[in-house]
Amino acid sequence: HSCGHSYHYAQKTAYEQILRGLNLSRKIKYTVSAGQDGIKILTFLKKEKGYSQRLITKLKKEDDGILLNGEHARSIDFVHTGDILEINFPEDREEGISVSLEMPLDILYEDEDIIVINKPAPLAVHESHNHLGDALSNALSYHLKQEGKQSVFRAVGRLDKGTSGIMVCALNRYAASKLSGKIGKVYLAVASGVFTGSGTVDSPIYRPDPILTLRTVDPRGEKAVTHWTALKNNGICTLLEIRLETGRTHQIRVHFASLGAPLVGDTMYGKSDPRISHQALHCYKCSFIHPVTEKKMKFTAEPPEDFRAVMPK
């Protein structure tokens, strides 16, 4: 299991430059149903399948972007029952990640369009000046290349460094646009205060200094709503189940700190704890509709050892 600090021991020698311009595309085939007979391809893609205008415009520029029964088609052409509409995505020739890193990943699910990962807390999602070469993006890029997939991906609803749990990454633009804002997540957190029952924190979150990541509750901020249910307390701290209505940066951490009950181990908004090296926050449930198959997807990931160590017994 890739929890804890295994990422430190990942072979640093496994760095390799990403093959620039590696261009693997994704094909999706649709069969037109009777209820869709006689509509334009544009309507089919936008209304029936949720494609953005931007993506359709991109597809139109590709020779085989839109094929109807194997022939090049225009977005103004009509489809009929039983037709096969094939979409070929131009893949992203955008800048690769600087290095890829071989390390064990806890992959909960993977197909052509998405990959669902249980992220260890110490890992940052994207590279930054602090995390060059040791971010989740580096490990994921290595994994995707091993499988012959292109290494451009988009984290949909990313988790802070220090937060563990389920994270969904889209492997193409279509999946990313369909999933954006549509992922239901349930978090577990340990707050340093006593809570019972359930409640909602509805307090705007503000970033006072554009340089610092620090956030605070302030009327000048953006609307932020957090729903919580107390699961267990020991008179000192409480295990909470949390659902977010908005997804502001550091939202859960800032909201509980504003109640005088920062998350255990959160050195930015509270104080350190010898048992855990980061905030006690874990995304343990996640559900969404698959962008292509339209099946309901549900995942659960148990909290890691250090999180369990600070849970009220």
Question: Could you give the residue numbers annotated as active site?
Answer: 160
d(CA 20, CA 157): 26
Q: Name the residue type at position 61.
A: K
d(CA 35, CA 49): 14
Show the tokens assigned to 99.
């290095």
Pairing of strands 238-244, 184-191: antiparallel
d(CA 108, CA 123): 17
Q: Name the residue type at position 36.
A: Q
Residue 164 DSSP class = E
- Of 208, 205, 289, whose CA–CA distance to 245 is shortest? 205
Q: At CA 196, angle to CA 282 and CA 221, rounded to 5?
A: 60
The answer to whether residues 254 and 216 touch, using CB atoms and an 8 Å cutoff, is yes
Q: Name the residue type at position 262.
A: P
Show the tokens assigned to 310.
């600070």
Helix (H) or strand (E) holding 84: strand 84-88
d(CA 232, CA 239): 5
Burial of 171 (0-12, 13-18, 19+ CB in 10 A): buried
Q: Name the residue type at position 34.
A: A
Report CA dihedral (42, 48, 52, 54) to the nearest 10 degrees. -20
Coil, helix or strand at residue 276: strand
